[in-house]
Every structure is written in structure tokens, then in C-alpha cells.
Copies of this chain bind each other. A is one copy, B any other.
Amino acid sequence: MKRAVEELAIFGGTPLFDSIKPVGQLAVPPLDAYLERLRPIFHEHRLSGNGPVVAELERRLAEYHGVSHCIAVANACVGLVMVLRQLVGGKRGNAIVPAFSYSGIPHIVQWAGQMPKFCDVERRRHGLDPVAVDRAIDEDTTVILAVANVHGTCEIDALQEIASRRKVPIVFDSVSALGASFGGKMLGSFGRAEVFSLHATKMLNGFEGGYITTNDDALAQVLRDQRNSGVVNARLNEMHAALALLCVDQLDDVIGRNEARYRAYERELASVEGLELLRYVDEAREHYTYQMAFVAVTDRWPLTREDTVKVLRAERAFAMPYYSPALHHSSHCPIGVAVPELPVAEELARLFMYLPGGEHTTIDDVASCGELLRFVHEHGDEIRRRLSENAA
């Protein structure tokens, strides 16, 4: 551990970790189990997607989410574009999206032929603010794309009520909320459809891939036909499905390890003044996967969030700002889209960073991060002074 400020890696010291501690889940099943699954796919030349393993995965996931239909697709982005295009029915208009979210959102709605209309978010779950959505809907609104967040999904009930009353279809991007519940009910059957990811950094690792869930029989049929026809290349390959299936089996174990890491962060950060761990919303009642540890960098912390991230990254702790900048202020905001003031999104986008997590971060690593952060706090003035000298 560091004994002096010059031992920090950002000032030339040896990094705290031997290898990068990432933020993604990166859970894998035992390689041999995977090869067992891979061999028949290879030998029977089931190479071009939508074989029996994909069908088995779809059944398992439909059961897991308590939903009628699961349609496996090439990735979540393609799945979202397919769903949105289907629901807007050829109209070109505005898709209501949260301004505090990931950078793909404005691109996805444009691929679906819509322009994003950025709305503010609420402070508890950090999802679309229902009041703002109700106000934002106008005659050009074609769809609401709500994003469910890892630590609290979003205000699903209120958003569904507005969508229903205003007769605008609502879709949930639940990529970050796989394994979470709302009102005690697992995500997967809310809105017209939900979309999940099978990317390696997410909860269920298919190396790559995604899936759509819906209780709407007609929508499911259309999406399945589109995928199977190869109209757009949206099929999921058997080799992805084989990996994801094995990962479904170990999901509870992965969640258990995530929660242990999260509780370790709780303990560590309790004694670090100025950094506040973001709590999972209503933990007593809801399910979560505890995949991420987000920390609010408050005014009582001696460094800016950006400097803190730099210090951590130099130590090979892969911290990063969370959903920052807000989308309407980012390079992802399309030219011509109005940039309103969205105070909550702007404030939250300045506030949080992720800390390392997933399978490559041990409880000891979390303890090391805690010790490092206490050291940074203790020597905050000196670090800040040295950083500004280096920058000058």
C-alpha cells in the first residue's frame, strides 16, 4: 500500500494492481463444459443461427423472466432497433428517451428512423421522470424508450400508465437491469417489449448477443419472422446461445459474488468521507444483481471526479464516470435536436463514477480500493496541488 503521495502510480509509483480491474461482469462457465456444448454444433454444422440451442435458451429465458416470448437476436442494439421500427410503423417522429443514459440511445432511435427527444430523469431510480414524459409527449411522439438502470430500474408503473393514457407505445431497454425486479416482479414482461443483452460485460455472457421479451403474441411473431428471414442480420448463433445457457445455470452464484463485493464496498466506503455509495433501491423487496458499484463524488471529497478517475486508473482500477456527460450535452446529440435544460440529468451526470467489479475483482481488491481511497482522502490537498502542477 502507498506510504507517500509520490508512490501513487499517477506520480510514477508502481500501480496497485498487477492487471487491470475492469467494471464488466465477464463471467464464464468452465471451458470444458462449453467445449462439450460446442462440439455437436460444430460437427453437425449448425453454423448459421437459430438452431436447437437458441430455442432452448429462449425457453429458459422466457421462464426466467416470466414472459410469453423470448426472441434471441444478434445483439441488444439490433433488437432495440427492430422493436422500435415495428412499433412506430413507418412513422418518423420523436422517441422520448432519458438524457441521463448510455451513449448508444440517440443512435439506436435514429437507426429506427426517429429523432431523440431528451427528457429529464428522477432522483431515486435515475430513469425517465414520469412528469417530464407526460409533458414532453406531443403529436410527433412515436414511442417512449425507457432505460431500466442496474440499481433501481425506473418508474415502470408510472411510465406505463402515461404510455397507456397517452396512447404511445413504451419499450424498456433493460440491458443493465437483467435480474432486477420491479414491484417484486422480474423484469421482462413490462411495456410492449423489453430488450436484454448477452454481451460478455453484462450479467449473462453469450460473448455477444441479445434478446427481446414480450407478452404480445403478434409482435413476437413479426419480430421472429423478421429475424428468421434474414431481412436484417439479426440471428443469434448457436455458439453464443451455448455459452449463455451455461451462464444461466450459474447466475445465482455470480449474483452471490457480486453482492459480496457490493457489501465489501459498503464496509470500505463507510469510512471514506466524501464518497457515497449509490444504494440499490428498496433492497428488501426487489431483486438485484449487484453488478455495479457507483459512487457519488461529493463536495466533501478533495479531488474532482475526473481527477479521482485518473488517479484510480493509473493504479489499474478501471474507474469511469457514469453516464457522463448527459446525452443532450454530448457529441451523441444529433444536430438539430433541441438542447433543453434538464437539471437532474445534468447534476447526476457530474456526480457518479463506477468502481471495479465483476469476476476479475476480488474482495481483497475491493479492500485495496478502499485503502487507496482513504489514502487519497488523507493526502487530498497534496495530491490536488501536485496534479495542478503537472497540468501546468
Query: Which of A's residues lie within 8 Å of B, judged by CB?
Result: 24, 26, 28, 31, 34-35, 39, 42-43, 45, 47-49, 74-78, 81, 85, 90, 103-104, 107-108, 110-113, 199-201, 205, 207-208, 229-235, 237, 239, 332, 334-336, 359-360
Interface pair B90/A207, CB less than 8 Å apart: no
Interface pair A104/B231, CB less than 8 Å apart: yes
Which B residues touch A74, using CB under 8 A? 74-75, 208
Interface pair B237/A208, CB less than 8 Å apart: yes
Complex Cα spacing A385 to B228, Å: 34
Interface pair A111/B28, CB less than 8 Å apart: no
Complex Cα spacing A239 to B26, Å: 15
Name, among A76, A205, A232, the residue most crowded by chain B CB atoms within 10 Å (CB to CB). Answer: A232
Interface pair A43/B26, CB less than 8 Å apart: no
User: Could you pull out 27 A-B pairs where Cβ atoms are within 8 angstroms?
Assistant: A24-B48, A26-B48, A28-B42, A31-B43, A45-B359, A47-B200, A47-B201, A49-B200, A74-B74, A74-B75, A74-B208, A76-B233, A77-B233, A90-B335, A90-B336, A103-B229, A103-B231, A104-B233, A108-B232, A111-B111, A111-B112, A111-B232, A199-B233, A207-B239, A208-B233, A231-B332, A239-B239
Which B residues touch A237, using CB under 8 A? 200, 207-208
- Please name the 10 residue pairs, one residue from A and one from B, whose CB atoms are nearest each other, closest first: A47-B200, A77-B233, A75-B233, A48-B200, A207-B237, A208-B237, A31-B42, A111-B111, A107-B232, A77-B232
Complex Cα spacing A39 to B77, Å: 28
Interface pair B31/A45, CB less than 8 Å apart: no
Interface pair B334/A90, CB less than 8 Å apart: yes
Interface pair B47/A207, CB less than 8 Å apart: yes
Given contacts A26-B47, A42-B28, contact A104 B232 (CB under 8 A): yes
How many copies of the polypeptide does the oligomer hold? 2
Residue of B nearest to A112 (CB): B111
How far, in Å, is A27 (CB) from chain B's closest CB?
A: 9
With contacts A47-B200, A81-B111, A208-B237 known, what are 6 further pairs, Cβ within 8 A?
Answer: A34-B42, A45-B359, A47-B207, A49-B200, A77-B234, A85-B110
Interface pair A199/B111, CB less than 8 Å apart: no
Complex Cα spacing A229 to B200, Å: 16
Interface pair B49/A208, CB less than 8 Å apart: yes
How far, in Å, is A207 (CB) from chain B's closest CB?
A: 5
Complex Cα spacing A111 to B42, Å: 33
Residue of B nearest to A89 (CB): B335
Interface pair A110/B107, CB less than 8 Å apart: no
Which B residues touch A199, using CB under 8 A? 48, 233
Residue of B nearest to A49 (CB): B208
Complex Cα spacing A107 to B76, Å: 18
Interface pair A28/B45, CB less than 8 Å apart: yes
Complex Cα spacing A107 to B26, Å: 33
Residue of B nearest to A46 (CB): B200
Interface pair A110/B113, CB less than 8 Å apart: yes
How far, in Å, is A390 (CB) from chain B's closest CB?
A: 27
How far, in Å, is A322 (CB) from chain B's closest CB?
A: 15
Complex Cα spacing A42 to B34, Å: 10
